[in-house]
């Protein structure tokens, strides 16, 4: 939970450092730019999510060589995709701001932020892979260390570039991109130590003892891409929702867009804290499937569900209690503050509304049930867009009502797949109730 709570601090720091300059256009530009980066980078979030379930299953099956090969495959894929994104960043930026709304001043700041963030694309995607691998092994303390290093670097560099060098939104982007490279360097050392290599050897030591044929093994790659294809579609659907959400705020003006971005920091904090339990579910569910234990699966779901509910209630109460002063700290613009404080109840209720969907994400990711995740994500996105369109007469309140309902749509869609998930354990057992042979792969 500590590791997850620290992840959204990157966004909070970015928003606060630029928000306290009092420049609403710059804050709105970072908001719009962060939406573009989120859409592009997290389109490849399967490098984190798919890795967790696959790694946990390999660990549960006692296949240490596959655990290490999974890391190397994901780092290779992440680095290659990151380099392609960097090479194509100019046309991507041009296309993104042809689609997204925003005034001239806001768009100028957003472009500067996005261009700087693309410098960190290869590092960001490789860090996704490292986090997924560490979480799949249940090495949450190592994942926390990696995130803490990134946050400290991000805070220091943001302050240097924005308050020291007066670089505005571009400085925020540069600070975060540099922090991602620092995090990658740290993560490679951590991964090597987790795998039993020396700190000096790191991941190269793993590479030396893993054959290239093992890394590019056809069956493993087919399974990796089969799982990740559906997760990628699901992620794109959810990212499209939040891009639509940002654009809905942008249509209402810079103040509305900036206020919504401030409130998104509450949602990000809730999502990442509650994702701590979802990630635990990913690891434990994946391990249960790898060892083919229905009892272990049910225990993981029950315990993570109980903790998620308690944390959701606690976060909602906390946001209601401290929301106003936090908003006042993040931004000094009076109009942005007033708008955000008016809509705070919606953001404060998200921990309760979103808790079931985040937890079920963890269960199905750990089970590598990509099809269920894909279908639920697409259905939720379609339902959200329909609601947002119908509620437009309510202006920004309608925007928040629609996004709040989307969490319930996603949870309801995933819940429909629970009986089928439970039946996979029955199919893995013979009539006597004994577990199926260890070589039987989980159903994708």
Q: What pLDDT, in 10s, does the model give residues 407-427?
A: 999 999 999 998 888 887 765
Confirm whether 434 is domain-assigned: no
Q: Is residue 321 scored above 60 in pLDDT?
A: yes
Residue 431: its pLDDT value, please?
39
Confirm whether 63 is domain-assigned: yes
Least confident of 4-18, 247-261, 313-327, 389-403: 4-18
Pair 28, 261: CB distance under 8 Å: yes
Question: Average pLDDT, stretch 118-136?
Answer: 91
Confirm whether 374 is domain-assigned: yes
What pLDDT digit, counting tens, does each position of 226-283 carry?
767 787 788 888 888 888 887 888 788 878 888 888 898 888 888 878 887 887 888 7
Total domain count, the chain: 1
Confirm whether 232 is domain-assigned: yes
Question: Average pLDDT, stretch 301-322?
Answer: 93
Confirm whether 432 is domain-assigned: no
Q: Is residue 381 scored above 70 in pLDDT?
A: yes
Residue 401: its pLDDT value, please?
94
- Percent of the chain scored above 70 by pLDDT? 87
Q: Which of 345, 361, 78 shows the shortest CA–CA distance to 238?
A: 361
Q: Which of 21, 25, 11 shows the shortest CA–CA distance to 109?
A: 25
Residue 219: its pLDDT value, please?
76
Confirm whether 437 is domain-assigned: no
Pair 189, 199: CB distance under 8 Å: yes
Residue 259: its pLDDT value, please?
87
The three-class DSSP label of residue 293 is coil
> DSSP H helical segments within 195-293, as ranges?
202-208, 212-215, 218-251, 254-291
Residue 201: its pLDDT value, please?
55
Q: Is residue 148 scored above 90 in pLDDT?
A: no
Record the pTM.
0.68
Q: CA angle 307-311-314, nearest 5°? A: 145
Residue 8: its pLDDT value, please?
60
pLDDT band at 438 (very low <50, low <70, confident <90, very high): very low
pLDDT band at 21 (very low <50, low <70, confident <90, very high): low
Pair 53, 365: CB distance under 8 Å: yes
What pLDDT digit, counting tens, does each position of 202-234 carry?
566 677 777 777 777 777 777 777 767 787 788
Q: Is residue 45 scored above 90 in pLDDT?
A: no
pLDDT band at 198 (very low <50, low <70, confident <90, very high): very low
Q: Residue 140 belongs to what domain range?
A: 2-427
Q: For 294-444, list the strands marked E by DSSP.
A: none
Residue 102: its pLDDT value, please?
62
Confirm whether 152 is domain-assigned: yes
> 217: buried, middle or exposed (CB in 10 Å: 19+, 13-18, 0-12)?
middle
Confirm whether 193 is domain-assigned: yes
């Amino acid at each position: 939970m500590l590791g997850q709570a620290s992840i959204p601090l990157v966004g909070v720091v970015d928003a606060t450092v630029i928000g306290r300059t009092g420049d609403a256009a710059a804050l709105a530009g970072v908001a719009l730019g962060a939406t573009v980066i989120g859409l592009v980078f997290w389109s490849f979030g399967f490098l984190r999510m798919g890795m967790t379930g696959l790694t946990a299953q390999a660990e549960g099956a006692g296949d240490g060589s596959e655990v290490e090969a999974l890391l190397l495959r994901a780092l290779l894929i992440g680095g290659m995709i990151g380099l392609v994104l960097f090479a194509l960043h100019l046309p991507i930026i041009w296309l993104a701001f042809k689609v997204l709304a925003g005034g001239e001043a806001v768009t100028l700041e957003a472009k500067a932020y996005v261009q700087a963030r693309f410098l960190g694309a290869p590092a960001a995607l490789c860090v996704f892979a490292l986090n997924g691998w560490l979480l799949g092994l249940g090495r949450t303390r190592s994942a926390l260390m990696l995130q803490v290093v990134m946050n400290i670097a991000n805070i220091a560099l943001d302050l240097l570039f924005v308050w020291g060098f007066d670089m505005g939104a571009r400085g925020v982007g540069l600070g975060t991109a540099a922090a991602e490279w620092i995090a990658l360097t740290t993560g490679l050392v951590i991964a090597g130590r987790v795998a039993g290599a020396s700190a000096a050897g790191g991941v190269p030591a793993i590479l030396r003892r893993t054959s290239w044929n093992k890394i590019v093994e056809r069956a493993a790659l087919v399974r990796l891409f089969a799982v990740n294809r559906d997760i990628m579609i699901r992620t794109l659907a959810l990212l499209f929702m939040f891009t639509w959400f940002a654009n809905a705020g942008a249509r209402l003006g810079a103040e509305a867009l900036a206020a919504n971005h401030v409130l998104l920091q509450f949602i990000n904090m809730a999502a990442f804290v509650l994702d701590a339990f979802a990630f635990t579910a990913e690891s434990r569910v994946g391990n249960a499937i790898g060892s083919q234990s229905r009892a272990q699966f049910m225990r993981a779901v029950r315990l993570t569900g109980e903790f998620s509910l308690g944390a959701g209630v606690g976060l909602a109460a906390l946001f209601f209690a401290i929301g106003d002063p936090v908003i006042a700290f993040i931004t000094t613009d009076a109009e942005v503050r007033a708008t955000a404080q008016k809509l705070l109840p919606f953001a404060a209720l998200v921990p309760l509304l979103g808790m079931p969907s985040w937890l079920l994400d963890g269960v199905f990711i750990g089970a590598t049930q990509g099809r269920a995740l894909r279908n639920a994500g697409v259905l939720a996105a379609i339902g959200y867009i329909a609601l947002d369109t119908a509620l437009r007469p309510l202006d920004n309140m309608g925007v928040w009502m629609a996004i709040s309902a989307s969490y319930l749509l996603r949870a309801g869609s995933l819940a429909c797949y629970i009986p089928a998930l439970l039946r996979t354990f029955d199919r893995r057992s013979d009539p006597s109730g004994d577990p199926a042979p260890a070589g039987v792969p989980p159903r994708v």
